[in-house]
Amino acid sequence: MRYVEPVYRPPSEAWSLIFQVTLGCSNLKTKRDPASPTGYRVQGGCAFCVAYQTKPFRARPEAEVLAEIDAAGAALGGRVERVFLADGDALVLSTNRLLRILERLYARFPRLQRVTSYASPQNLLGKTVEELRRLREAGLTMIYVGIESGDDEVLRRIDKGATAAQMVEACGRAKAAGLAQSLTVILGLAGPDPERSRRHAEATGRVLDAIAPEYAAALTLMLEERVPSFAEQVGDPEWRELTPVEALREIHWLLSVIEADGIEFRSNHASNWLALKGRLRDDRERLLRQIDAALRDPRLLRPEFLRAL
């Protein structure tokens, strides 16, 4: 396997064979820059994200991808059960190209049980329900979508490229097509202002409630030395990262508005101070009690030195 680093994948895809069908993220723009050692500069994209900043977006040649699948199949065919399609948003590819890739994967890996991929709201809005259904029938089993926030002001400030309503529409198409979805939201994007923080949290909870995905996970924004540049990008010189108490309040607000059933919720990412795990709505009250207990007793929180991206 030949990878163009860096390669990112969801934690749950740790045991998946990864094929880079695209490189980079289609939300990033590449500009010529004679002063750069590479001759180009990658910029744009979501304000909080630094992934894929070192490589311009492009679709890998289809023949190259198929040949790589053939070679991996010859070497590993009987052992591969899971495949993840990288990079940042493989669903930007045409439906027909993705169908050919899926067909080749299942032909070369007879024990293959699931194929997953990142997808952006823009990717999903660029396909019809019927196209997404064809991908599901061909073996695409689940997509990972970064929702980040349900607050349109926050989405605009971070340059997400989609509104809350568009998020719901995009993920609704995937649901109608039978695709399982794992959605990610980010605590702290609105900053510490209590009114903005609560609006962000509750609006995000309402979007999750409207979509009712199979899985949802919360991360806490960690920027460290990038705080000044992020504050400048979002136009808020007073912006700072949340304290543990502020982050706990935000996730409490978020969970409080979710009424949908059947969402497996997690906040066990290393960026979070408190690891939560439960099934909404059944476990919601238990999760809220866990948060309340942590607000009363900081010893229940993850130590700062153990937090990481």
Cβ–Cβ < 8 Å for 4, 70 = no
pLDDT value for 257: 98
Of 118, 151, 183, at which residue does a domain stop? 118
Q: Are residues 11 and 70 in the same domain?
A: yes
Of 87, 118, 149, at which residue does a domain stop? 118
pLDDT value for 37: 62
Q: Are residues 29 and 170 in the same domain?
A: no
Q: Are residues 154 and 271 in the same domain?
A: yes
Owning domain of residue 61: 1-118
pLDDT band at 240 (very low <50, low <70, confident <90, very high): very high
Q: Are residues 242 and 298 in the same domain?
A: yes
pLDDT value for 227: 86
pLDDT value for 173: 98
pLDDT in tens, 126-163: 999 999 999 999 999 999 999 999 999 999 999 999 99
Of 118, 148, 183, at which residue does a domain stop? 118
Count of domains forming the chain: 2
Q: Mind giving me the DSSP string for 238-277?
A: T--PPPHHHHHHHHHHHHHT---SSEEEE--STT-SS--E
Q: Are residues 99 and 215 in the same domain?
A: no
pTM above 0.85, yes or no: yes
Average pLDDT over residues 187-212: 98
Query: Would residue 253 count as lying in a domain?
Result: yes
pLDDT in tens, 28-37: 776 666 666 6
pLDDT value for 47: 82
Q: Are residues 70 and 206 in the same domain?
A: no
The count of residues in the chain is: 309
pLDDT in tens, 73-125: 999 999 999 999 999 999 999 999 999 999 999 999 999 999 999 999 999 99
Nearest to 119 by CA among 55, 177, 206: 177
pLDDT value for 30: 64
Query: Would residue 76 count as lying in a domain?
Result: yes
pLDDT value for 31: 65
Q: What is the CATH number of the domain that holds 172?
A: 3.30.750.200
Please tell me the distance from the alpha carbon of residue 95 to that of residue 118, in angstroms, as a whole number.
15
Cβ–Cβ < 8 Å for 16, 32 = no
Q: Is 57 helix (H, G, I), strand (E, B) or coil?
A: coil
Q: Are residues 283 and 145 in the same domain?
A: yes
Average pLDDT over residues 257-274: 94
Q: Which residue has the higher pLDDT, 49 or 13?
A: 13
Q: Are residues 175 and 225 in the same domain?
A: yes
Query: Would residue 131 count as lying in a domain?
Result: no
Q: Are residues 184 and 218 in the same domain?
A: yes
Query: Would residue 148 count as lying in a domain?
Result: yes
pLDDT value for 153: 97
For 114, half-sphere exposure in the C-beta direction (CA atoms, 13 angstrom radius) is 13
Q: Are residues 37 and 91 in the same domain?
A: yes
